[in-house]
Structure formats: structure tokens, C-alpha cells
Amino acid sequence: MSALTFALLATDGAARRGRLTTGHGVIETPVFMPVGTLATVKSLTPGDLEQAGAAVILGNTYHLMLRPGHELIRELGGLHRFMSWPRAILTDSGGFQVFSLAKLRTVTEEGVRFRSPVNGDLHLLSPEGAIEIQHALGADIIHPLDECLAYPAGREATERSLALTLRWARRSLQAHHAREGSARPALFGIVQGGSHVDLRARAVEETVALGFDGYAIGGMAVGEPKPEMLTLTEGVAARLPRDRPRYLMGVGKPEDLVECVARGVDMFDCVLPTRNARNGQAFTSQGPLSIKQARYTRDPAPLDAGCACETCRTFSRAYLRHLFMAGELLAYRLLSLHNVHFFVGLMAAMRQAISERAFEPFRTRFFSRYAVSSAEVLPDVAADHIPRTEA
């Protein structure tokens, strides 16, 4: 039996308010999951994350298998104990990293052979191996190995890839169910299918037929136009079971979160809060701002007047700009702390709006205030999926 249960508490249009119960606590949905690639959300402590309201974080199967190794983490009591995080952990399949980071890789029915970017060692990541690694990590929610294609991908290549992902999904389920123990982590199926609407529909039908604990929408935010991502996400979410959680992998910017909650998605992850913080970008209720800009040199205001995080309660934009321009490490921590707080708080506001059946007025208010000016966008760091080893 899975140690996860899901209850749908309220709806407003397609937007859903739910509750996931795991062996490491309750997760209120819709939820944003900060990314802890290598067993850490960069520059933040577990206490920081709890104070920000994070109920679940994401760990990366690919990176943790390479460094420090899943067997070491298992030996030391699992990922929760290893990183001193008491709440839920979701691990991804490793598929996206294999295909985006491994320069030398060979895909076969068996799995993917690739050379480690850490030390050059040759590895095989198979569907069964991915399940074994995630069980060793002790995550609450895990995923089967899948193939994530770059955009654009032709129909023939997408059909081949989808068929392989579905075969791997069956093998992953078999390996997962063969594990001993009264309570297993929840296993989410991943819906691929590229940018082809009919292949996405087929992927939903065949993945759901296998019977997973929840469903992830994969292969988005890999270069496709935003309207296409929203259309595909809406179509997939509408076909997924009402009584299972829905997770959109690797998305996204605050405006993406609002639009995809409106389309029926429950769970999100993205590296933007911490990655963009390290490049000087803060997300605010008025839109993103780049603290590097000279306009903030003498600005005594907080990053966001309506924010209750420690950064905004304590420090001015002028001070944060000084730290960043001086290369002081505290700048990265304070901006990351604020950004995570902003993303988590945005989800809490959406949960309340759905419960009050007032999501559309909330959505309207959000977009009336939240603006992205060309002067504030960081083109080098704003993409949702950038193939780097660190988030």
C-alpha cells in the first residue's frame, strides 16, 4: 500500500483545493515544491524552509545517485535524516537530467547508459534502477524513469519515445510493487507525448490504465511557446483522474503557477526562486525586480512592502543591492529566502481563493498588479529548465 492519500476539498472552475497526506506530514494543494537538487535548497536551512511554509521539497535522483550516492544515503538513514528535513520529499525520475546533462549517452530498451559529469564513470540508469535509488533515498513520492525529448520533436520520434516511456513505466511499477514492506512511497506516472495533442491524450489513457498513485505532466517548459504549454497542460489535466494529484514538472514562473492552477494542476516545482536569487532577481507582488539596477542604490524600501519574510522585515533594497554588488554571500541567502517565501505564499493565497470560490477574482487581481518589464527580466536565468548541475 502507498503511504499517501489525497482528498479533493474544493473546486472553483478547473482550479482544485486538495490535501495530500504522507508519512512525513500533510501537504495542502495547490503546492509549490522548492528544489533541493543535492539534498539542499541552496543557501537555505530546513528551518528556513519550514518558516517559509514549505511542506515538501524536491530531491534529484540523477544527482544524488552520482554524489554522494544513494547507498550512502540509505546507510545514513535516508534522505530525510541525511539533510535533517522532517517533512515530505518528492524525487524526480532522473530522466530529464540524463537527457539534458549527459553528453555521451545511449538509450536502449534496458535503460540509459551515460558518463558521469562528476568523474566520467559509466553508469546505467534502468527503470528498475531508478526505483531502487528512490527507495534507498526514502522519498515520499517517487517517479518512474521516462524519456524527455527536447522541443521541437517530430511526430515519429515522439511516438517512439512515448512507447518507450510507457514500457519503462510498466517495468517501474513491477519493480515498485515487488518491494517488501507494508508502506511504500507513492509512485506517480509521468505523462509524456511532446507537443502532439493526440499523443498526449494517448499518453494519459495508457498511463492511467497502469494505475499510479498520482500523475505528473512531463516534457513541458522545454522550449515550447507559452500558449502551447498552457493548452497542452489544460488538455492533459482535464483527462487525468479527479481523485489523484496532478503534478506539472519543472514549472514555473509565478504567472505560470496561477495559469496552471486555473487549469487544474495541484503540484509544481521549479529552480527559479533560488537560481534567480543568485543572479540578483527577486519576485514581488508587483513583478520581478533585479536588485543589481542602480535605481535601488539609495532605496530604503523592502523588496516587497506586503511581504512578511525575514528579508523584507529587516533589510532595505539599498542594503541588498550593496551585498549583491559586493559579492557578499548573504545576498544570495536573503534573496533566496524572500523568493521561496513569495512562491509558497502565492500558493497559500490561491488555496484560500479556491476554498472561497473566488479564484477568478484572485487571478484578475494578480495579473492587474504583477507585471514583467523588459528592464527587470534576466534572460540568462529565467528559463524554467536550464541544464546545469546545480539548481
Catalytic residue ranges: 92, 269
Residue 350 CB burial class (10 angstroms; 0-12, 13-18, ≥19) = buried
Question: What Å distances lie between residue 329 and 148, 277, 279, 320, CA to CA?
Answer: 35, 11, 12, 11
7 touches 26 (CB < 8 A): no
Phi/psi at 9 (5° precision): -95, -35
Q: Could you tell me how many helices (H) and strands (E) the chain has, helices first?
A: 15, 16
- H-type alpha helices, the chain: 46-52, 61-66, 70-75, 79-83, 95-101, 127-137, 155-177, 197-210, 226-239, 254-261, 272-277, 310-314, 317-325, 329-355, 359-369
Residue 186 CB burial class (10 angstroms; 0-12, 13-18, ≥19) = buried
Coil, helix or strand at residue 362:
helix
